[in-house]
Amino acid sequence: MISTSMIDPLIQQELRSRFNPDGSPLRCHQLLMLDMLKKIDRICAENNIKYWLSSGTCIGALRHGGFIPWDDDVDLEMMEEDFKKLRRVMRCYNGDDLVWQDSHTDFEYVQPFAKIRDTRTVIHEIPDTDRNYRYKGVFIDIFAIRPSASLNLYKLGGKLQTFFLYRPQYIENRLLRRATIAFSRLFVTNGLLRLISLIDRIGSDGQYRHLPGTAFSRPRFKKDVISTRLIKFEDAELPVPVNAEHYLERIYGDFRKLPSLDSIVPHISEITYR
């Protein structure tokens, strides 16, 4: 079933003219991400992997029928089991245009979520957290969700992730930086965070969260994402949570309302094509 956008067409046209008119750098960036998204959708369908548009990408689908006009990234979510399956599939991917990025494929990548990168481009993010990454192309963020009962435990995991993994990436000495990251992975990621995750699963009762360390602490609920429905996204039909409106209201409140347009800050400063 395909839904149409809920925003007034005249307002949508005005936003497009202001932020991402045809031929603008942002619109070209969005169209490249759309092409990547279609490829990922096909890969997931061929391998029986369930995912859905999440966060601002889901808002864009419902409110705008595609990208939020000023949006410069794409967010996808899936259950942790599907995330692991997609990781296995992508690491065997035969194409030369996409690459899976996580700590297994890029040692200095310290995020608790993965990215699928376009190998033909190089981007410059704001802030420059990608400066030591192996892969720097246009990306789509892939978030795993897993059972989580306690917000306090989740926040504790996030603090550990920030202190032991995010901060070391700014160490200038390469040898010291990599040694610190290796130590943190061994004792924090594979030790403390794994233990916290096991405890946090107890009594979750259909409540899910991202892995600790992302910016999204609000829970997702199984009843909202147990299945998906198709919705119009640009010129494609892509999945959103079956209860997408409820899902977004839990996270953002009134997602139908436009934010202050003067407060919008881009994440990407420049894209270079190889």
What domain range includes position 243? 9-146+224-273
Q: What are phi and psi of 255, to 5 degrees?
A: -75, -15
In a domain, 182, yes or no: no
Instruction: Identify whether 127 is preceded by a cis peptide bond (ω within 30 of 0).
Output: yes
Domain count, the chain: 1
Q: Identify whether 248 is part of a domain.
A: yes
Does residue 75 form part of some domain?
A: yes
pLDDT in tens, 74-92: 999 999 999 999 999 998 8
pLDDT of 153 > 70? The answer is yes
For position 269, what pLDDT does the model report? 64
In a domain, 179, yes or no: no
Show Cβ contacts of residue 23 under 8 Å, excluding neighbours closer than 6 positions.
Answer: none
In a domain, 78, yes or no: yes
Residue 31, pLDDT > 90, answer: yes
- Give the global pTM: 0.92
- Please compute the mean of the pLDDT values over residues 193-208 and round it to a whole number: 90
Q: What pLDDT shows up at residue 94?
A: 74
Identify the three-state secondary structure at position 77.
strand
Give mean pLDDT, residues 26-37: 96
DSSP three-state, residue 56: helix
231-268 burial, b at 16+ Cβ within 10 Å, e below that, comes to bbbbeeebbbbebbbebbeebbeebeeeeeeeeeeeeb
**Which pLDDT belongs to residue 265?**
73
User: Is residue 172 one of the residues assigned to a domain?
Assistant: no
Stretch 44-59: mean pLDDT: 97
Nearest-CA neighbor of 79 among 209, 166, 203, 170? Answer: 209
Which pLDDT value is given to residue 256? 92
pLDDT over 70 (residue 11)? yes
Q: Which pair of structure tokens corresponds to residue 155?
A: 């926040």
Question: Which pLDDT does position 126 carry in this prediction?
Answer: 73
Cα–Cα dist 252/246, whole Å: 10
Q: What is the pLDDT of residue 4?
A: 56
| Distance between CA atoms of residues 265 and 238, nearest Å | 26
Predicted confidence at residue 190, as pLDDT, reads 86
**Would you say residue 197 lies in a domain?**
no
pLDDT over 90, % of the chain: 69
pLDDT at 1 over 60: no
Tell me the per-residue pLDDT of 155-185, one tens digit each, with 9 for 90 and over.
Answer: 999 899 889 988 898 899 999 999 999 999 9
In which band, very low, low, confident or very high, does the pLDDT at 124 lie, cut at 50, 70 and 90? confident
Question: What's the whole-number average pLDDT of the chain?
Answer: 91
pLDDT for residue 196 is more than 80? yes
**CATH number, position 134:** 3.30.460
Query: What is the per-residue pLDDT across 211-234, written as a single tens digit (0 to 9) for each?
Result: 888 878 899 999 999 899 999 999
Residue 155 domain flag: no
For residue 169, the number of C-alpha atoms closer than 13 Å in the C-beta half-sphere is 20
